[in-house]
Structure 1
Amino acid sequence: MVRSAAKLFATRSYDGTSVDDLVSHLGVHRNSLYKTFGSKRGLYLAALKWSLDHEVAGLAERVTAAGGHAEETHDILADAVTGPALDLVLLAAVERAPVDAEVARLVGEAFTALDRAVGAADRAAGNGDGDATATPVAATALLIGLRARSRSGTTDAGTLRADAALARLLGRP
């Protein structure tokens, strides 16, 4: 149920998803939803945590495991840019984090996990010359921005080249 809610929130956003939408989509009774999660926000937090534990953490693990190999890193990042794994954290960052401290904390944890993975890939590629803090943060920001562009339907050749450039930055042949 939490995974299905995460997908719904990642598609429609928190404000764009009503309790009626959740009840209908999840096939549960309103009272069951409230009894289990306390509120729409409670379910949202559970869905966001699920997304971070499964989708964002999985992405971070794959980037780290690629060991800085450019082609493998490119494939992983291309999937992240065009697929839904980052959608809930992206929406949470712009919609709920500015007004909800718990969401802001969770989004921060997601970004930190991605920063660490990108930093590991950067080090594995032998790119120790740059700023060990700034480079991973910039790369994570680029990854999130590329996903926002892709989600908006404005993916073009330049976006795909940016994805490849990010992979080259973090990879070695």
Structure 2
Amino acid sequence: MAQKNYLAVVRPAKDKLDPTDALLLADLQEGGHTIENDLAEIIRGGKTDYGVNAVSEEFKLTIGNIPGDKGIEQVKKAIKNGEQLRVWLYEHNKRDDGKYHGVFAYTVPESYEMSFDDEDNKIELTLKVKWNSAEGTEANLPPEWFEAAGAPTVEYESFAEKVGSFEEQQAAASSGTGA
């Protein structure tokens, strides 16, 4: 099941889809952004000290696999060709400043793992950040990004307001509640 705190967008640096499209990981089930220090161990006077050699970052994203999805296929092809990916990870809700906060990075894919069992069909991505990530904000994000896998949202309706299935609903005849 998709988590509700973050939106992730992954797009190959050499994009082959329409410029306004991206692979939105609407079914982002799990994920994370890790920042690590590669430490140097320094021995001084019989004691251990540490210094930082380098800082590295990575994203780990788990998404639902949608067979035939053009965005997923494009990302898979980019990974097979050793190409870079762009990654944006946004908080799902605006903060007090009225903006969506996020982090952006160019990444080098380390792994793409598709797995399935009797309950899940998923893809796990491990993406190493090239140089560093950068934090930023957006005043607005496309509304369709908030609709998981393009799923419509069911709105509350009063008893006897409509009839028919979700796909074929119609306003009910105004005969009252039938009581």
TM-score scaled by structure 2?
0.25
Give 1 or 2: higher strand fraction: 2
TM-score scaled by structure 1?
0.25
Give 1 or 2: higher helix fraction: 1
